Structure 1
Protein backbone atom coordinates (compact mmCIF):
# COMPACT_ATOMS: atom_id res chain seq x y z
CA UNK A 1 0.00 0.00 0.00
CA UNK A 2 1.21 3.55 -0.57
CA UNK A 3 2.50 5.68 2.27
CA UNK A 4 5.10 8.15 3.43
CA UNK A 5 8.71 6.96 3.54
CA UNK A 6 10.24 6.16 6.94
CA UNK A 7 13.54 7.86 7.77
CA UNK A 8 15.90 7.93 10.74
CA UNK A 9 13.93 10.71 12.46
CA UNK A 10 10.60 8.83 12.28
CA UNK A 11 9.16 7.95 15.69
CA UNK A 12 8.96 4.16 15.96
CA UNK A 13 8.10 2.39 19.23
CA UNK A 14 7.22 -1.05 20.46
CA UNK A 15 3.70 -1.59 21.76
CA UNK A 16 5.00 -0.82 25.27
CA UNK A 17 6.38 2.61 24.23
CA UNK A 18 10.04 1.55 23.99
CA UNK A 19 11.78 3.64 21.30
CA UNK A 20 13.12 1.73 18.29
CA UNK A 21 15.82 2.77 15.81
CA UNK A 22 17.19 1.05 12.68
CA UNK A 23 20.64 -0.51 12.84
CA UNK A 24 21.33 0.34 9.18
CA UNK A 25 20.03 3.10 6.91
CA UNK A 26 20.80 4.30 3.40
CA UNK A 27 23.14 7.22 4.21
CA UNK A 28 23.23 8.41 0.60
CA UNK A 29 19.40 8.71 0.30
CA UNK A 30 17.99 11.52 2.47
CA UNK A 31 14.37 12.46 3.11
CA UNK A 32 13.89 15.70 5.04
CA UNK A 33 17.62 15.59 5.85
CA UNK A 34 17.60 12.10 7.41
CA UNK A 35 18.60 8.77 5.81
CA UNK A 36 15.77 6.43 4.77
CA UNK A 37 15.11 3.13 6.54
CA UNK A 38 15.43 -0.12 4.61
CA UNK A 39 13.34 -3.29 4.74
CA UNK A 40 16.44 -5.36 5.48
CA UNK A 41 17.44 -3.29 8.51
CA UNK A 42 16.64 -4.74 11.94
CA UNK A 43 15.40 -2.28 14.54
CA UNK A 44 16.76 -2.19 18.10
CA UNK A 45 14.26 -1.47 20.89
CA UNK A 46 15.32 0.23 24.14
CA UNK A 47 13.50 1.00 27.38
CA UNK A 48 10.61 -1.40 26.78
CA UNK A 49 8.38 -1.61 29.86
CA UNK A 50 7.18 -5.20 29.34
CA UNK A 51 8.41 -7.22 32.34
CA UNK A 52 10.66 -10.26 31.93
CA UNK A 53 9.55 -13.85 32.69
CA UNK A 54 7.73 -15.16 34.65
CA UNK A 55 5.46 -12.05 34.66
CA UNK A 56 5.56 -11.65 30.85
CA UNK A 57 7.79 -12.54 27.91
CA UNK A 58 9.59 -9.19 27.51
CA UNK A 59 11.15 -6.76 27.28
CA UNK A 60 11.17 -6.14 23.53
CA UNK A 61 14.76 -6.20 22.26
CA UNK A 62 14.73 -6.21 18.47
CA UNK A 63 12.47 -6.27 15.45
CA UNK A 64 14.60 -8.32 13.08
CA UNK A 65 12.24 -8.61 10.10
CA UNK A 66 9.94 -6.23 8.27
CA UNK A 67 7.06 -8.04 6.55
CA UNK A 68 6.19 -5.40 3.96
CA UNK A 69 7.79 -2.35 2.40
CA UNK A 70 7.65 -0.27 -0.77
CA UNK A 71 7.06 -2.15 -4.00
CA UNK A 72 8.38 0.58 -6.31
CA UNK A 73 10.79 2.67 -4.22
CA UNK A 74 14.28 1.31 -3.55
CA UNK A 75 17.46 2.62 -1.95
CA UNK A 76 20.66 0.84 -2.94
CA UNK A 77 18.51 -1.93 -4.48
CA UNK A 78 16.55 -2.57 -1.26
CA UNK A 79 12.88 -1.61 -0.67
CA UNK A 80 12.43 1.34 1.68
CA UNK A 81 10.05 1.26 4.64
CA UNK A 82 6.71 3.02 4.42
CA UNK A 83 4.49 4.34 7.21
CA UNK A 84 2.29 1.21 6.97
CA UNK A 85 5.21 -1.27 7.08
CA UNK A 86 4.97 -3.92 9.79
CA UNK A 87 7.50 -5.70 11.99
CA UNK A 88 7.28 -8.03 14.97
CA UNK A 89 9.33 -7.54 18.16
CA UNK A 90 11.38 -10.31 19.70
CA UNK A 91 10.85 -11.90 22.22
CA UNK A 92 7.41 -10.41 22.96
CA UNK A 93 5.79 -11.00 19.56
CA UNK A 94 4.15 -7.57 19.55
CA UNK A 95 4.29 -5.14 16.60
CA UNK A 96 6.35 -2.00 16.15
CA UNK A 97 4.29 1.19 15.82
CA UNK A 98 5.25 3.92 13.34
CA UNK A 99 3.61 7.07 14.66
CA UNK A 100 5.25 10.40 13.80
CA UNK A 101 6.63 10.49 10.30
CA UNK A 102 7.70 12.98 7.62
CA UNK A 103 4.87 14.00 5.29
CA UNK A 104 6.66 15.14 2.13
CA UNK A 105 7.91 12.03 0.32
CA UNK A 106 5.33 9.41 -0.63
CA UNK A 107 5.97 5.99 -2.12
CA UNK A 108 4.23 2.83 -3.23
Structure 2
Protein backbone atom coordinates (compact mmCIF):
# COMPACT_ATOMS: atom_id res chain seq x y z
CA UNK A 1 0.00 0.00 0.00
CA UNK A 2 1.25 3.48 -0.78
CA UNK A 3 0.94 6.42 1.57
CA UNK A 4 2.70 8.40 4.26
CA UNK A 5 4.68 6.47 6.86
CA UNK A 6 3.40 6.49 10.44
CA UNK A 7 5.83 7.63 13.13
CA UNK A 8 5.89 7.01 16.88
CA UNK A 9 3.69 9.71 18.39
CA UNK A 10 1.27 9.93 15.45
CA UNK A 11 -2.39 10.29 16.34
CA UNK A 12 -3.85 6.81 15.88
CA UNK A 13 -7.28 5.98 17.31
CA UNK A 14 -9.61 3.02 17.56
CA UNK A 15 -13.06 3.61 16.09
CA UNK A 16 -14.38 4.36 19.58
CA UNK A 17 -11.79 7.10 20.22
CA UNK A 18 -9.17 5.22 22.27
CA UNK A 19 -5.55 6.32 21.72
CA UNK A 20 -3.33 3.64 20.15
CA UNK A 21 0.45 3.55 20.49
CA UNK A 22 3.13 1.12 19.26
CA UNK A 23 4.82 -1.21 21.73
CA UNK A 24 8.11 -1.30 19.79
CA UNK A 25 9.00 1.65 17.53
CA UNK A 26 11.67 1.01 14.87
CA UNK A 27 14.92 2.71 15.98
CA UNK A 28 16.61 2.53 12.54
CA UNK A 29 14.30 4.90 10.64
CA UNK A 30 13.57 8.46 11.79
CA UNK A 31 10.71 10.59 10.48
CA UNK A 32 11.03 14.20 11.56
CA UNK A 33 13.00 13.08 14.61
CA UNK A 34 10.52 10.36 15.64
CA UNK A 35 10.97 6.62 15.12
CA UNK A 36 9.10 4.88 12.31
CA UNK A 37 6.88 1.95 13.28
CA UNK A 38 7.24 -1.65 12.05
CA UNK A 39 4.17 -3.62 11.06
CA UNK A 40 4.68 -6.71 13.25
CA UNK A 41 4.71 -5.56 16.92
CA UNK A 42 1.28 -5.12 18.54
CA UNK A 43 -0.10 -1.72 19.53
CA UNK A 44 -1.75 -0.91 22.86
CA UNK A 45 -5.04 0.98 23.02
CA UNK A 46 -5.75 3.19 26.04
CA UNK A 47 -8.87 5.13 26.93
CA UNK A 48 -11.33 3.20 24.78
CA UNK A 49 -14.81 3.67 26.27
CA UNK A 50 -16.79 0.49 26.77
CA UNK A 51 -18.50 -0.04 23.40
CA UNK A 52 -22.03 -1.39 23.65
CA UNK A 53 -22.69 -4.93 22.44
CA UNK A 54 -19.07 -5.70 21.62
CA UNK A 55 -17.62 -7.55 24.56
CA UNK A 56 -15.46 -4.85 26.10
CA UNK A 57 -13.11 -1.98 25.24
CA UNK A 58 -10.31 -2.20 22.66
CA UNK A 59 -7.07 -3.31 24.36
CA UNK A 60 -4.57 -4.15 21.61
CA UNK A 61 -4.35 -3.84 17.83
CA UNK A 62 -2.36 -5.49 15.05
CA UNK A 63 -1.58 -4.01 11.64
CA UNK A 64 -2.32 -6.42 8.79
CA UNK A 65 -1.23 -4.34 5.78
CA UNK A 66 1.65 -1.91 5.41
CA UNK A 67 4.53 -1.18 3.05
CA UNK A 68 5.47 -3.76 0.44
CA UNK A 69 8.56 -2.31 -1.22
CA UNK A 70 10.08 -0.38 1.70
CA UNK A 71 11.29 -2.27 4.79
CA UNK A 72 13.47 -1.65 7.81
CA UNK A 73 15.28 -4.46 9.59
CA UNK A 74 13.47 -6.78 7.13
CA UNK A 75 10.08 -5.70 8.45
CA UNK A 76 7.39 -3.75 6.57
CA UNK A 77 6.51 -0.34 8.00
CA UNK A 78 3.13 1.05 9.06
CA UNK A 79 1.66 3.32 6.41
CA UNK A 80 -1.36 5.61 6.81
CA UNK A 81 -3.37 3.72 4.18
CA UNK A 82 -2.67 0.36 5.87
CA UNK A 83 -5.19 -1.60 7.89
CA UNK A 84 -5.26 -2.73 11.51
CA UNK A 85 -7.74 -4.58 13.70
CA UNK A 86 -8.36 -4.08 17.43
CA UNK A 87 -8.82 -6.91 19.91
CA UNK A 88 -11.33 -7.99 21.25
CA UNK A 89 -13.75 -5.71 19.35
CA UNK A 90 -12.44 -6.28 15.78
CA UNK A 91 -12.86 -2.60 14.84
CA UNK A 92 -10.21 -0.85 12.71
CA UNK A 93 -7.59 1.65 13.80
CA UNK A 94 -7.68 5.08 12.15
CA UNK A 95 -4.61 7.24 11.60
CA UNK A 96 -5.89 10.74 12.43
CA UNK A 97 -2.61 12.65 11.98
CA UNK A 98 0.91 11.71 10.94
CA UNK A 99 3.96 13.27 9.31
CA UNK A 100 3.45 14.18 5.65
CA UNK A 101 6.98 14.38 4.21
CA UNK A 102 7.88 10.69 3.76
CA UNK A 103 5.81 8.38 1.59
CA UNK A 104 6.39 4.72 0.75
CA UNK A 105 4.77 1.81 -1.01
The two structures have a TM-score, normalised by structure 2, of 0.93
> 33, 56, 59: which is aligned to 1:58?
56
Question: Runs ≥4 in structure 1, deviation > 4 angstroms?
Answer: none
Query: Is the Cα–Cα contact under 8 Å of residues 4 and 79 in structure 2 kept in the other structure?
Result: yes
Q: Which residue does 1:86 correspond to in 2?
A: 83
Structure 1: unaligned runs, 5 residues or longer: none
The two structures have a TM-score, normalised by structure 1, of 0.91
Query: Is the Cα–Cα contact under 8 Å of residues 64 and 82 in structure 2 kept in the other structure?
Result: yes
Distance 2:34 2:69 in 1: 20
Q: Which residue does 1:99 correspond to in 2?
A: 96
Q: Which residue does 1:67 correspond to in 2?
A: 64
Secondary structure of the equivalent of 1:21?
A: strand
More strand by share: 2
Distance 2:54 2:26 in 1: 35
Q: Which residue does 1:44 correspond to in 2?
A: 44
